[in-house]
């Protein structure tokens, strides 16, 4: 007969990060040699508040 498993407590609900709601943000970026101009395109970046976890810091 196999040993019984112990019941584990449910994990507490975590709140999503208020800045990114998922871990990544999109940012504009600059292109060009001397005259840096802002591109219309966007690039993905890690959220600096939650460091990419998507959960609100404690």
Is 46 part of any domain? yes
Is 43 part of any domain? yes
Which residues, in sequence order, are CB contacts of 12 under 8 Å at separation 6+?
none
The answer on pLDDT for 44 being more than 80 is yes
Is 4 part of any domain? no
Angstrom CA distances, 25 to 35, 40, 46, 49, stand at: 26, 16, 6, 11
Alpha helices by DSSP H, listed for 10-58, are none
| Number of domains present in the structure of the chain | 1
Domain region containing 21: 16-31+39-53
| pLDDT digit string, tens, across residues 6-25 | 888 777 777 888 888 777 88
The answer on pLDDT for 47 being more than 80 is yes
Is 8 part of any domain? no
State the pLDDT at residue 55: 85
| pTM above threshold 0.75 | no
Is 25 part of any domain? yes
Is 9 part of any domain? no
């Amino acid at each position: 007969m196999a040993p019984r498993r112990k019941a584990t407590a449910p994990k507490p609900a975590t709140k999503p990060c208020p800045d990114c709601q998922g871990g990544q943000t999109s940012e504009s970026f600059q292109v060009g040699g001397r005259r840096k101009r802002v591109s219309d395109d966007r690039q993905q970046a890690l959220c600096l508040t939650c460091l990419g976890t998507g959960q609100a810091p404690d």
